[in-house]
Amino acid sequence: MGTNATDATAQAANAHLTTPTRLTGAEIVWATLVGEGVDTVFGYPGGAILPVYDALRKFPIHHVLVRHEQGASHMADGYARASGKVGVAIATSGPGATNLVTGIATAMLDSIPMVCITGNVSSKILGTDAFQEVDITGITLPVTKHNFLINRPEDIAKAIRHAFQIAQSGRPGPVLVDITKDAQQATAVFDFAAAKPRPYRPHPMLTVEESGLAQAAELIRNAKRPVILAGHGVSESGAMEQIRTLAERAQIPVALTLLGLGSFPASHPLNLGMMGMHGEAWVNHAIQEADLLIACGMRFDDRVTGSTSTYALKAKKIHIEVDPAEIDKNIKVDVALVGDLRAVLEELLPRIGSRGQGGRDGSAWLKTIEASKGASAVRDIKNLPDSGHLYAAHVIHDIWRITGGNAIVVTDVGQHQMWEAQYFHHETPRSLITSGGLGTMGFALPAAIGAKFACPEKEVWVIAGDGGFQMTASELSTIVQDKIKINIAIINNGFLGMVRQWQEFFYDKNYECTPLVSPDFVKLADAHGIAGRAVHARSEVVDAVAQARTAPGTFLLNFMVEKEESVYPMIPAGSALHEMIRRPGKNPLEERAEDN
């Protein structure tokens, strides 16, 4: 919080919103954020943003002091993913601003609404290679939805309000507002209402034509082997109910992307599971055999399609998508319905009858898929005998069972991320927070801090690898300073595991630069004032997870798992979706982390 903020300052800040007042540019920054409903920001001060920090005490906003600006952008991102609101990160010029970039790119690739505010040198010396001057609008141009360079106090409120609108509308994304130091120091009349941007005008292509809806309904009615591909756009548009209605009414199974997990309940009988590179074998086979794919808020990422020249060749394709640029980008489709997913589905659903009312009978196709799953489909591994080995899959599955699935899980990037996707069954949207598109190691710990600020009442778990955790472990201090409670599970395999797996499969087991020395993570936590415990055996997992959950503060568990375990199935990059590498020596349909 503006540490000295009181009720009186909150009242004063609110008064600014209704009565135009002369303020400094720095005050306008905070006043506008208050007006946009912001109560928490993540940042790190420095010379070029110091006027803004100086003014913070007058505003009812909680500022979380991070340990590295990358942490600020991941926290803002985690906050946005958990809450659906815009996350805000703040940094100074030069290195402060460049440190934000990885987090901005992470948000860009996954369409996350975020506003970053940076200070820059005074406008008179812009372009002179002044101390800590970088062209951050130039640097972030390709990884922001939009950015602004502001050098007059009277433009600040407009730019920030516009940034919020851009970040949230259409396809969400990050926006950066760079403000020169002299603009922060000078004054202008702050008129919040007058700074309101023109109403958002959707792209002209965002009109769903009657003919497209009729064509889509016709394809759905006549399909024998349809599959819904549900992506991140489902939760971004809040279309969970509509997807469920479509699936149930037309008896169509639902496959999910990594970022779609949770937007259709894992326990629903029509839920097939995750598609793609590490998706379930039966899901990928169903997609390859399908005669109709209904892609809903997903962008046919290469991790999802494998080789595009062999992707779902037997299927007609319907693509419902808010961004016209995604249509026919990776996969050519037969019907494109460009618009907000929920709105489009609401128009489409009345045209889809249920079985017996002109609708389709999906039972034969569902039976075929069910048969292809085999007995191992459930990935319920709790009854497998304990061989003395500790597998990541067991750890993650136990965290799922013990939390009843009612936690927000924030993963890092690597093998543990894929095991989480396979063994933690997500029932609700926004319960899995993970970097999909950029695949940013170091994401989990800061993003989890952001998620906890967004949902303080929720249980939050970090699941991170020993490699990625070390990239942003300095944020342990942020946890302590802000007194928050999360649970941290490090899946410690002594390797940059996902890269080791690629070396095992494709580089003759040449484990070049992937064995990894780590600190004693429990001691590291202790040095920060955080309790922890190392776990070596499967028999300890349940007790350790319970201990972490009931501990009053943040608790770190260091799970010493099998070192050379691999994620199966796996589609080698560029191969066809059905050309999966399967767990060796086992029934090809058994994808369990079975003890040896």
Binding of residue 414 to ligand TPP (CB under 6 A): yes
Task: Give me the DSSP letters along 196-213.
Answer: PPPPP---TT----HHHH
> At a CB cut-off of 8 Å and minimum separation 6, what does 476 contact?
445, 524, 525, 528, 530, 554
Binding of residue 171 to ligand FAD (CB under 6 A): yes
Binding of residue 340 to ligand TPP (CB under 6 A): no
Residue among 493, 503, 514, 554 that touches Mg ion (CB under 5 A): 493
Residue among 113, 233, 262, 362 that touches ligand FAD (CB under 6 A): 233
Q: Tokens standing for 307?
A: 């080789």
CA dist 336 → 213, 222, 292 (Å): 9, 18, 13
Binding of residue 495 to ligand TPP (CB under 6 A): yes
Is 509 considered catalytic here? Answer: no
Is 181 considered catalytic here? Answer: yes
Q: Tokens standing for 504?
A: 């095992």
Is 498 considered catalytic here? Answer: yes
Residue among 115, 293, 298, 408 that touches ligand FAD (CB under 6 A): 298
The answer to whether the beta carbons of residues 144 and 115 sit under 8 Å apart is: no
Binding of residue 393 to ligand TPP (CB under 6 A): no
Binding of residue 530 to ligand TPP (CB under 6 A): no
Least distance from C-beta 416 to ligand TPP, angstroms? 4
- Taking each helix axis from N to C end, the angle separating 497-506 and 415-423, rounded to the nearest 10 degrees, works out to 100
Binding of residue 299 to ligand FAD (CB under 6 A): yes
Residue among 258, 318, 393, 525 that touches ligand FAD (CB under 6 A): 258
Least distance from C-beta 535 to Mg ion, angstroms? 15
DSSP lists the bridge partners of residue 492 as 560
Part in contact with ligand TPP (CB under 6 A); list of ranges 26-34, 362-370, 394-402, 492-500: 492-500
Catalytic residue among 498, 559, 562, 570: 498
User: For ligand FAD, which is the closer residue by CB, 85 or 232?
Assistant: 232
Residue among 440, 472, 478, 554 that touches ligand TPP (CB under 6 A): 440
The answer to whether the beta carbons of residues 224 and 291 sit under 8 Å apart is: yes
Least distance from C-beta 476 to Mg ion, angstroms? 18
Which is nearest to 105 in space by CA: 64, 68, 77, 135?
Answer: 77
Q: Which does 260 bind (CB under 5 to 8 A by kind): ligand FAD, Mg ion, ligand TPP, none?
A: ligand FAD
Binding of residue 340 to ligand FAD (CB under 6 A): yes
Catalytic residue among 1, 36, 132, 485: 132
Task: Give me the DSSP letters along 45-72.
Answer: --GGGHHHHHHGGGS--EEEE-SSHHHH
Residue among 499, 524, 530, 580 that touches ligand TPP (CB under 6 A): 499
Binding of residue 430 to ligand FAD (CB under 6 A): no
Residue 494: DSSP 8-state: S
Backbone angles phi, psi at 295, to 5 degrees: -85, 120
Residue in the structure block whose two tokens are 């063994």: 423
Residue among 497, 514, 556, 561 that touches Mg ion (CB under 5 A): 497
User: For Mg ion, which is the closer residue by CB, 493 or 558?
Assistant: 493
User: For ligand TPP, which is the closer residue by CB, 314 or 509?
Assistant: 509
CA dist 548 → 230, 459, 462, 485, 534 (Å): 33, 11, 12, 10, 11
Which is nearest to 143 in space by CA: 183, 180, 114, 165?
Answer: 114
Backbone angles phi, psi at 175, to 5 degrees: -130, 140
Least distance from C-beta 411 to ligand TPP, angstroms? 9
Is 124 considered catalytic here? Answer: no
Which is nearest to 117 in space by CA: 95, 150, 141?
Answer: 150
The answer to whether the beta carbons of residues 417 and 424 sit under 8 Å apart is: no
Least distance from C-beta 488 to ligand TPP, angstroms? 13
Interacting residues with ligand FAD (CB under 6 A): 110-111, 171, 231-233, 236-237, 257-260, 274-279, 297-299, 301, 303-304, 321-323, 326, 340-341, 413, 417-418, 436-437, 439, 498
Residue positions annotated with a catalytic role: 69, 131-132, 181, 498
Interacting residues with Mg ion (CB under 5 A): 465-467, 493, 497
